[in-house]
Structure 1
């Protein structure tokens, strides 16, 4: 006999899909801003998986990944429950900005408070009404501003089970990283959830390669958990031939101000002393090379054509654990 489950006041019955719109807060015009939450339950009991994106409203590539999961009906489970929240921060998504209307970063407002700021109240709602019911979380992010993250999974330190899920996800890079204080990931991990944080692409941009890696990774994990079964003839799944696992990385910064031209490829290895880019003036009189101080793999590139001295222009993963 399937167990009784109630989410957001709705009885979630076996074999049913629900779209619940919650409006826990309003704009200053008193206009409701609804956050659609899509919940699908199989007839067979199993794990509950949460797919979320858009905690930062301008990180739209994650929204596209979860949208495709729903559009292709991959969110209909064979066992357990799949909850999809394509746009967590609808406020920011509406006006293409990272923050909540109160100016706060939602991803620095967890676990929230019932009577706190707007962002804090929403974080409290999200943790207590949604995350409370789940076993696994996959949260999708992108780089900020012009910074393009090569697809990667970030996981908590010393968690072998989550590490194995990260390997199954199949992104080229897996990073052990400490949880940021008051982040969604930190709060979810503290409450006993297994969390994969996906980083890929840049803000206000949808990249087909990033989308493909994200969707494929979700399907790999759902199948491994027994939540979704795919026929052998169904072959969208693929893993990177080489997966790099690391827990240390370093930003390379601009050594002058000017126009910036990158000379390296995101996701590829670099050697210490290799020229990674050029900074020039607009007039043809000045040119300065930027050399990498370390060897490693490029995991993020700044796509801005104009930089100031000290700006982060490339993020390098230092391969110090192991690879496949």
Structure 2
């Protein structure tokens, strides 16, 4: 059973980790068809000083490389060695998807729609169950890193529920360019965190199957600011200064392609655009057709479809309202 006892000894997946110790624990999920074991490495760093437990995860979707890179850099730079408390890093939760460069598990299920899982359910559900039962209970704070799906590039953002004052404060401390009010999806990891009373920030940045240096930088610097706020960032690390206050997005809508063809985006993601502003063109492959795309409303571009080819009706821009 996961937990911390009166002597401040952390028990995680039946392994006991004392204050001041480091550990690498293998979260055994299942085996490949070849019977080769598939293990999810969990990196635990504990201070001698008591404090919060922060769980940092990436790769719940196997093709979301930016999240993996953010957690990797956090470990490689030693940011995960706390001044107090405990930091648990899991760079790749969905190792099955990561090995196949796919979002889902081999059973075709989305792990982030299977929480809290079932002990005797399908593979993804079993992993979600074990994670919820054996790892999540020890955490006080959860930072979960994602990207936009497919070719849709998300501007760096923290997603929280509206009217969550504590999470709003923590989101401002993290200081991604945007804070997006977003309803929690049923059976998501974020929902399970909330059901267990864990403070959770969901980071979105970039797109799947892509590694973006700027998105990774924003994520790692946000972690540093977050840990500093909790008094967990060790001496020797400079807390990155916030460039500007995060912009809160309360509502937004998608623009969809009016025509099929080649999509050419003409503005940077994250830019504030005015209604009617020229933001893209759609052409045919033969040089005969050219459609000018203009912004449907005034607002910030928080997501753009970077696919070079779109069909009529495809979502191409996600724009904030107001």
TM-score by length of 2: 0.96
CA distance in 2, matches of 1:88, 1:263: 36
Shift of 1:2: 4.2
Counterpart in the other structure of 1:322: none
Partner of 1:205: 210
Asked whether the equivalents of residues 141 and 198 of structure 1 are also in contact (C-alpha less than 8 Å), the reply is yes
Counterpart CA distance in 2 for 1:289 and 1:263 is 10
Pairs within 5 Å for 1:54-69: 54-69=59-74
What is the 5 A alignment of 1:95-106?
Answer: 95-106=100-111
Q: Determine the C-alpha separation between the residues in 2 that align with 1:290 and 1:140.
A: 31
Q: Does 1:317 align with 2:320?
A: yes
Aligned to 1:243: 246
**Residue 236 of structure 1: CA displacement?**
5.3
**What 5-or-longer segments of structure 1 have no aligned partner?**
320-324
Cα distance in 2 for residues equivalent to 1:10 and 1:242: 41
Partner residue of 1:138 out of 131, 137, 143:
143
8 Å CA contact 1:170–1:238 kept in 2: the answer is: no
Other structure's SS at 2:97 match = helix
Would you say how many aligned residue pairs link Structure 1 and Structure 2? 317
Question: Could you report, residue by residue, the CA deviation over 1:78-106 in whole angstroms, capped at 9, with x for unpaired residues?
Answer: 11110000000000000100000111000
- In 2, the alpha carbon distance for the partners of 1:59 and 1:93 equals 8
For 1:30 and 1:151, locate their aligned partners in 2 and report how far apart those are by CA, in whole Å. 39
Runs of 5+ consecutive residues of structure 2 not aligned to the other structure = 1-5
- CA displacement at 1:28 relative to structure 2: 2.4
For 2:12, the equivalent position in structure 1 comes to 7
Residue of structure 1 aligned with 2:117, choices 106, 112, 117: 112
Identify which of 27, 52, 58 aligns with 2:57.
52
Query: Residue by residue, what CA displacement relative to the aligned partner does 1:11-64 show, whole Å, maximum 9, x if unpaired?
Result: 111111100012131122222111000111110110000000000000011100
Once the two structures are TM-superposed, the CA of residue 291 in structure 1 deviates from its matched residue by 1.8
Q: Is the 2:8–2:19 contact (alpha carbons within 8 Å) kept by the matching residues of 1? A: no
User: Is the Cα contact below 8 Å between 1:250 and 1:317 reproduced in 2?
Assistant: yes
CA separation of 1:240 and 1:251: change in aligned 2, threshold 3 A:
farther
Paired residues of 1:169 and 1:218 also in contact (CA < 8 A): yes
Equivalent residue number for residue 255 of structure 1 = 258
Describe how 1:9-88 pairs up with structure 2 within 5 A. 9-88=14-93
- 1:285, distance to aligned residue in structure 2 (A): 0.9
Question: Residue 199 of structure 2 corresponds to which residue in structure 1?
Answer: 194
Mapped partners of 1:290, 1:130: distance in 2: 47
CA distances 1:143-193 after superposition (whole Å, capped 9, x unpaired):
111111111000122211111010000111001111011100011111100
For residues 214 and 133 of structure 1, the distance between their equivalents in structure 2, rounded to whole angstroms, comes to 23
1:126 — aligned with what?
A: 131
Q: How does 1:225-236 map to 2 (within 5 A)?
A: 225-231=230-236, 234-235=237-238
CA distance in 2 between partners of 1:88 and 1:247 (Å):
30
Distance 2:114 2:276 in 1: 40
Which stretches of structure 1, 4 residues or longer, exceed 3 Å deviation after superposition?
A: none
Q: Please identify, of 270-279 and 108-117, the stretch whose mean Cα deviation from structure 2 is larger.
A: 270-279
Picking from 159, 163, 170, the partner of 1:158 is 163
